[in-house]
Amino acid sequence: NKSRESTAEYTMSSTTAVIVSFARTPIGKFMGSLSSVRAPVLGATAISGALSRAAPGDDVDLPSAVSEAYLGNVVAAGIGQAPCRQAVLGAGLPQSTICTTVNKVCASGMKAVMLSAQAIAGGSLPSGHAMVAGGMESMSQVPHYLPNSRSGTTLGNAQLVDGVVHDGLWDPYNDQHMGMCAEKCAKDYDISREDQDSYCVESYRRAMEAIEFCYFQNEIVPVEIQQRRGDPLVVDQDEEPAALNLDKVPSLRPAFQKNGTGTVTAANASSLNDGAAAMVIMSEEGAQKLGLKPIAKILGYGDAEQDPVDFTTAPSLAVPVALRNAGMKMDDIEYHEINEAFSVVALANIKLLNLDPARVNTFGGAVALGHPIGCSGARIIGTLYSVLKQSNASVGCASICNGGGGASAVIIERLK
């Protein structure tokens, strides 16, 4: 498509958002190597990485050009006030940077990107200024709650409530774990346990292949963790993909529906994880003014909502909204990233959108890589760019469901 290939030759727009750079931390296992690192520190690491990649030399003082930041974070208990602000200042950005923490559950990181693009489209970003967008989560550091502690427990035991489950993974509308929503999805769309296990194994295979061939190398910025003695521990690779024992996948018990009919297991669902992702977003005109070379253009985005119990299939509604807003058709999309909250989420949306499975999550997804919930929406946009670059393709769509029945989708074009 000549019009797509010649994008970089267009007159630069002051209201078209471009991604100048992207960086993410490795994704750590729950209570793994990153468990001692607070979410804002992970966020600051990703921001610093994105800034250094956007302007690798000394010619541009990019941190001084950042005027606003949006960062996703879902479970903020125990982090301290204004998590986004903590990450921004931790990355050395100016005190004048406007900071907003976004909570759209699993879609938080993607919504942060969309809000940045909307600010640019609305013309509120001064020429030559930049925005930072992304997300962060340390699921390992989410505390347990003692709900009755203020009013007092007069007699008997007091129950601890797991904050990860209560505020991150629980469907309050139907008072059940979101895994039960995945079970409903499997039943609604006739997706078997074997289908989900096969998808899971393939996600891990693709992720391990991507690691072997260093496809994530341009995404990841290492995290240094100070030790009591000696050199810092350097974490520079995703932990989750190597952790699966493939032989055990078929024999695992269902994790949520335990009446003998369950199909969703700890393997074919995503795991609990720690990580952060960030990108520098500017207008085309602003990037040109600073002499920066964008890596991708944001062509369109959209949200959708439906019954909370059916959040699993909300991406099938959000993707058409993003396409409509971009003035595009499904055939224009070469590759998709659909966040694998559960294997059944990807399988159902592939079916509903009539997608080629070979062009969905080609480097593996959250089932294999992990799902730090406030981070994943931004992470899959960055990985989508990596897929487009490796495949010498141009246009892709990233979509992610979120608790409450929602989903978000973003369409990007790789700039060559």
Q: Which residues are catalytic?
A: 106, 371, 401
Task: Answer yes or no: are the C-beta atoms of 309 and 174 closer than 8 Å.
Answer: yes
Rounded to the nearest 10 degrees, the angle between the axes of helix 343-353 and helix 193-212 is: 100
Task: Answer yes or no: are the C-beta atoms of 43 and 276 closer than 8 Å.
Answer: yes
- DSSP line for 190-215: T--HHHHHHHHHHHHHHHHHHHHTTT
Query: Which residues are CB-contacts of 158 (< 8 A; sequence separation ≥ 6)?
Result: 146, 148, 149
What single DSSP character describes residue 216? T
Give the three-state DSSP class for 364.
coil
CA distance 222 to 236: 4
Reported residue count of the chain is 416
What single DSSP character describes residue 7? G
Query: Which residues are CB-contacts of 329 (< 8 A; sequence separation ≥ 6)?
Result: 323
CA distances from 402 to 81, 310, 394 (A): 24, 10, 27
CA distance 112 to 58: 28
> Measuring CA to CA, which residue among 416, 412, 404, 241 is closest to residue 337?
412
Query: Which residues are CB-contacts of 415 (< 8 A; sequence separation ≥ 6)?
Result: 7, 8, 18, 293, 294, 295, 296, 297
Give the three-state DSSP class for 166.
helix
What single DSSP character describes residue 408? E
What single DSSP character describes residue 237? S
